[in-house]
Amino acid sequence: MGAWDVGPFDNDSAADWCGDLEDAPAEQRADLVRNTLLFAINCDEYLDVDDGSAAIAAAAIVAAQLPGQPPITSPYAPDFLTVGGSIEFPDDTPGLAVRALDRVLADESEWADLWADANPNSPAFAVVRELRRVLAAAEDRYLHPGDDLFSAGRNA
């Protein structure tokens, strides 16, 4: 795994996936993120590190679009997001992201195996768990509706 740090965008696979998202037409970006999450969720074999890393990056993008979350500043994230752009997601997307992160952290995941082999106490696990916490809170708001998750006070 070509990882140079523990952040969701700080590895070769995530950076490559972010490049694909950057290059995608704006109207296809939400589908690309959701399909990446769904691929991880539905993988019933050993989840490849590239797919796990892409799912983590996708989940981080979903989390960053939620109201009150800090903007994405990683130089490896899609440029359109680091300059204030956004993606509109259906309200069920945080729940998909939670399930994808659960799959990345589960057994039969190369991402989890590689990080555990390198350092079982790696802060990479804490980064993913924090993303999961933020997304799970948003999922709870979706399950108990009030305001639209993605439009009320984005990044406020």
Confidence of residue 44 (pLDDT cuts 50, 70, 90): very high
Name the nearest CA neighbour of 39 among 130, 88, 100.
Answer: 100
Q: What is the pLDDT of residue 120?
A: 85
Partners of 109 in the beta sheet? 47
Q: Is the pLDDT of residue 152 over 50?
A: no
Residue 154 is predicted with a pLDDT of: 41
* Distance in angstroms between the alpha carbons of the first and the last residue of the chain: 35
**Distance separating alpha carbons of residues 35 and 21, to the nearest angstrom:** 12
Residue 21, pLDDT above cutoff 50: yes
Average pLDDT over residues 115-144: 89
HSE (side-chain half, CA atoms, 13 Å) at 42: 6
Q: Of the ranges 39-48, 57-66, 93-102, 144-153, which one carries the lowest mean pLDDT score?
A: 144-153
Do 6 and 76 meet the contact criterion of CB atoms below 8 Å apart?
A: no
Mean pLDDT across the stretch 112-117?
94
